[in-house]
Amino acid sequence: MKNRNFFWGIVFILAAVFILLGNFGFFHDINSPKVFLSLLLLYFIVKSIPYRNFYGILIPAALICILYDDLLHITAVTPFPLLAASVFASIGLSFLFPSRPHFKTGVSFDSSYDHVDESRINCCASFTGTTKYINTTDFCQAYLKCSFGSLKVYFDHAHIAGSSAEIYIANSFGETILFLPKDWNTNVTVTTTFGDIEEIHKPPVAMPDAPTVTISGSISFGDCKIYYI
């Protein structure tokens, strides 16, 4: 996350310099805000392809087409028809070809307020609000998917038998909230496309001999909050 913050800091500083130089007569033949926005959208597309994140691919692509609709001669379908089509296409493709972590989960459930005692967890919330309580003495892996809804997952009563565990998040147009024990050492590598991830009350120093939990996945047009309790 520190590397990502550094990257975005440099990007926006360069954007500020680019805009100021444009007002002093540099790049007068270039629409600098449009070029910068196009490059930013292309970055989101490239970043989303390995994760099969259709929201991060189709919606930025639609926005690029809207920026250059005169050049592409597609003004008849911009902006709202094309943007709506990209959203619905993203939803459909996400149902047909859902993103998956590199591991396979062993449990599937979709009712609310479940108590689960398994080492491999699969939680899905689509167009609804769902709360899950994970009670297990052998937690290993979790796959959490949230689309157009809200998913809260409590891991405060989950115990890791080994030295490590994995949590994979697939969040699109939704909110995912995790409650983790403070004595877990976490490594967050979640990618975001027009989204945000925030860690709250994380201990400043890693706990010695504590298990390591890797949190990966992708967030598109949504947010994820991780509370340490």
Closest CA to 89 of 44, 119, 59: 59
Residue 207 DSSP symbol: P
Q: How do residues 174-183 score in pLDDT, each as one tens digit?
A: 999 999 999 8
CA end-to-end span of the chain, whole Å? 21
Indicate the pLDDT class of residue 26, thresholds 50, 70 and 90: low
Q: Which of 6-15, 28-37, 52-61, 105-114 has the lowest mean pLDDT?
A: 105-114
Report the alpha-carbon distance of residue 118 to residue 59 in Å, rounded: 37
Contact 201, 229 (CB under 8 A): yes
Omega of the bond prior to 203 within 30 degrees of 0, cis? no
Question: Measuring CA to CA, how many Å separate 194 from each of 6, 51, 96, 130?
Answer: 17, 15, 23, 23
Q: How do residues 154-175 score in pLDDT, each as one tens digit?
A: 999 999 988 899 999 999 889 9
Residue with tokens 């995790």: 178
| Prediction pTM value | 0.70
Q: Which residue has the higher pLDDT, 55 or 152?
A: 152
pLDDT at 110 over 50: no
